[in-house]
């Protein structure tokens, strides 16, 4: 029987601090036996993580955290048990990567126009793949001495409505859900926080499979609220640490926020049923 099941974590392949090996070593110290790696808009860490997990006794769930947007609100959709070799799915991820590079280049142009000397090569040095995000740009700004800290980079230059801010590429929540489910996956809303009831209804209409209930950003009241939602609508209620590492003090969240075993087993069965139907 699994000890604890953490269905939300990140590696250097998106905006996490650790390699897959380092991440697995960290979580193995926290009584985690099942881990979903859910990097933003990429599954590049999954193959090596599966092999490494076998050596450490950790089962790796192929996962992802897709970027979507509902109006002005960011909504991240977690996907689990995805067929990462699915042709249509990989085409979407290639598009996401391309758009992230374009966004990084637009941010760099703004920074250059503000008088800061930084190149795309400076930024790519902090990314394991071309899935580039603002954290990589922030790291480059710190290394170049343009700002003193990661926090200052966002406060002064990269944060929403800051001088060098650029929106990233999004699909609609409904499209993100479909992308995941068409690849045999289970789609779950990441850290929903205080979503309006109208948005929750729209997500349920879009055939969402569940909500992430147990998350470091959620209050006890929010967790109870989403427990009610998932129970009433027969949806999955998942949990995970959303571990990134590095400059974030989130290591203590590992092992504190996790998914119930019964929920995990039911999700696994549903994914297998989907694949059998699609065969």
**Same-domain pairing of 81 and 179:** yes
Average pLDDT, stretch 245-252? Answer: 78
CA 187 to chain centre: 12
Q: Which of 124, 158, 192 is the last residue of a domain?
A: 158
In a domain, 164, yes or no: no
60 strand-pairing partners: 35
Does residue 248 surpass a pLDDT of 70?
A: no
Domain hosting 254: range is: 5-85+172-278
In a domain, 148, yes or no: yes
- Total structural domains within the chain: 2
**Residue pLDDT, tens place only, 177-233:** 999 999 999 999 999 998 999 999 999 999 999 999 999 999 999 999 999 999 999
Does residue 253 surpass a pLDDT of 90?
A: yes
Q: State the helix-helix crossing angle for 87-113 and 134-143, rounded to 10 degrees.
A: 40
**Exposure letters 109-138 (e unless 16+ CB within 10 A, then b):** ebbeeeeeebebebbbebbbeebbbbbbbb
CA–CA dist 239, 216 (Å, integer): 9
**Same-domain pairing of 78 and 100:** no
pTM: 0.88
**Same-domain pairing of 115 and 200:** no
**Same-domain pairing of 193 and 268:** yes
What value does the mean pLDDT of the chain take? 92
CA–CA dist 179, 177 (Å, integer): 6
Does residue 1 surpass a pLDDT of 80?
A: no
User: Which among 251, 243, 221, 201 has a CA at the least distance from the CA of 36?
Assistant: 243
Q: Strands, DSSP E only, in the chain?
A: 5-6, 34-37, 59-70, 73-80, 186-189, 210-214, 236-239
**Same-domain pairing of 151 and 183:** no
**Same-domain pairing of 104 and 25:** no
Length of the chain equals 279
Contact, 34 vs 90, CB < 8 A? no
**Same-domain pairing of 102 and 199:** no
Task: Give the pLDDT score at 279.
Answer: 58
């Amino acid at each position: 029987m699994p000890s604890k099941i953490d269905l939300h974590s990140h590696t250097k392949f998106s905006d996490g601090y650790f390699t897959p090996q380092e991440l697995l070593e960290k979580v193995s110290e926290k009584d985690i036996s099942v881990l979903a790696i859910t990097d933003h808009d990429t599954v590049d860490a999954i193959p090596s993580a599966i092999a490494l997990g076998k050596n450490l006794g950790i089962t790796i769930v192929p996962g992802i955290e897709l970027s979507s947007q509902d109006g002005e609100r960011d909504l991240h959709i977690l996907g689990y048990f995805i067929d990462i070799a699915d042709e249509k799915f990989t085409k979407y991820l290639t598009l996401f990567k391309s758009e992230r590079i374009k966004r990084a280049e637009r941010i760099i142009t703004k920074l250059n126009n503000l008088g800061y000397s930084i190149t795309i090569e400076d930024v790519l040095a902090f990314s394991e793949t071309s899935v580039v995000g603002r954290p990589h740009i922030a790291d480059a700004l710190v290394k170049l001495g343009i700002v003193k800290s990661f926090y200052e980079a966002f406060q002064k230059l990269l944060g929403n409505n800051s001088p060098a801010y650029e929106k990233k590429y999004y699909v609609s929540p409904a499209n993100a859900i479909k992308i995941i489910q068409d690849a045999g996956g289970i789609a779950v809303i990441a850290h929903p926080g205080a979503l309006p009831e109208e948005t929750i209804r729209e997500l349920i209409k879009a055939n969402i499979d569940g909500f992430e209930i147990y998350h470091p950003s959620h209050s006890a009241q929010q967790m109870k609220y989403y427990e009610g939602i998932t129970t009433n609508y027969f949806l999955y209620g998942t949990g995970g640490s959303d571990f990134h590492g590095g400059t974030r003090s989130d290591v203590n969240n590992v092992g504190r926020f996790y998914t119930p075993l019964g929920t995990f087993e039911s999700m696994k069965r549903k994914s297998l049923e989907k694949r059998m139907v699609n065969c």
